[in-house]
Amino acid sequence: MNVTLILYESKYGTGKVVANTICPILGPAKSFDINDAPQDVKYYSNVVLVFSLYGHNSSEKILEYIKDNNIGFSKKRVALVCIGLNKQDGISEIIKIKTLINKEDVFTEFIKGETLINKLTYDEKDKIKYFCSKVGIPFNDLGKFDDSKVLDLAKNLREYFNTPQFIPPVNVTKKEIETFLINKNTCTLATGYGEFVRATPLEYEYYDGNIYIITEGGLKFIGLSKNKKVSLCIYENYVSMNNLCGLQISGEVEILQPWCEEYLDVLRSKDLKVENISKLPFDMNIIKIVPNKYEFLYSKFKNLGFDSKQIYIPEK
Ligand SMILES: Cc1cc2nc3c(=O)[nH]c(=O)nc-3n(C[C@H](O)[C@H](O)[C@H](O)COP(=O)(O)O)c2cc1C
């Protein structure tokens, strides 16, 4: 199982927020304060070290933990996430940890942190005051933590850790996806923008690499009017962990112009008579979804010796 361990070292809480925000997104995962870190990490395939910068005292406990427990990173995927005010300081600290764990192939990210004067201990207030006078800036709160950067980080990290290692030839993945799409006929389409989100069960038609939905209308058009990006999924009922089958598709929507050639083709492919549709006293809309990414969790891949989750990016 691809499980992620997150260890954070944070005095004032920013690092903790980062670790605990990314944890459920990276799941299966567990986040620990470095003071409570487990000594045995063999269960984890991925390790994320989240540490904040405090001058010469940065990542002290993380470094000590790695040395004391003789943690081996060679077979693990590793990410180093540094929080601080100055990216250059972060790069130096990242190099220090990379050298200690003796691993070059590591995911790294710097997240802008913040220093709130009223949270600091007396001693550290003095250090920051000295730092501010040295660089000639007012003694005030420094930096601004932006939690949307943490969500971007989580998305990239998830992609990094979940890249399948055992991948079938691309035509095998494509064929399994197409067979599944052709055998099913109902999807859940997620649309939205801002505060508006909606999941709609819909019948679909898979045709020539695209997905078509014939629809009289509905609230999904609120999302579609503002945001052409959609996500949809098609899946089998859960039976057991050995029998998983769920396809998630990301794509962009086009609303077909009524009576254009493609619109007529879709009606014909559904055996719908054009003259009957044209006589209806209301508009019949056709939503075309052009997929740009398929994520297919399918136990059959595992039975064939591959990772059970495969990704397929169609050619444009
Ligand atoms: C005493 C002290 C020293 C710091 N030294 C650095 C530093 O050398 N480089 C840097 O980029 N940020 C430095 N910072 C900024 C912190 O990294 C930033 O406030 C961070 O968000 C703190 O994370 P935390 O909330 O997880 O403790 C320092 C902050 C303090 C309080």
Residue 15 in contact with ligand 1 by CB distance below 6 A: yes
Task: Report the relative pairing of strands 46-52 and 77-84 from DSSP bridges.
Answer: parallel
Of residues 99, 94, 106, 98, the one with CA closest to residue 51: 94
Among 31, 53, 125, the mutation site with the greatest number of ligand 1 atoms within 8 A of its Cβ is 53
What is the C-alpha separation between 76 and 69, in angstroms, rounded? 15
Among 59, 85, 92, the mutation site with the greatest number of ligand 1 atoms within 8 A of its Cβ is 85
Residue nearest ligand 1's atom 22 by CA: 52
Residue 50 in contact with ligand 1 by CB distance below 6 A: no
Residue nearest ligand 1's atom 4 by CA: 54
Give the pLDDT score at 314: 97
Among 52, 60, 94, 114, the mutation site with the greatest number of ligand 1 atoms within 8 A of its Cβ is 52
Residue 114 in contact with ligand 1 by CB distance below 6 A: yes
Residue nearest ligand 1's atom 2 by CA: 54
Residue 10 in contact with ligand 1 by CB distance below 6 A: yes
Q: What is the pLDDT along the chain (316 residues), one digit of tens a residue?
A: 889 999 999 999 999 999 999 999 999 999 999 999 999 899 999 999 999 999 999 999 999 999 999 888 999 999 999 999 999 999 999 999 999 999 999 999 999 999 999 999 999 999 899 889 988 899 999 999 999 999 999 999 999 999 999 999 999 999 999 999 999 999 999 999 999 999 999 999 999 999 999 999 999 999 999 999 999 999 999 999 999 999 999 999 999 999 999 999 999 999 999 999 999 999 999 999 999 999 999 999 999 999 999 999 999 8
E strands in the chain: 4-9, 29-33, 46-52, 77-84, 107-112, 114-115, 142-143, 186-193, 196-203, 205-207, 210-215, 229-235, 245-255, 285-298, 309-312
Query: Rounded to the nearest whole angstrom, what is the distance from the C-alpha of residue 69 to the centroid of ligand 1?
Result: 26
Query: Rounded to the nearest whole angstrom, what is the distance from the C-alpha of residue 139 to the centroid of ligand 1?
Result: 14
Give the pLDDT score at 70: 87
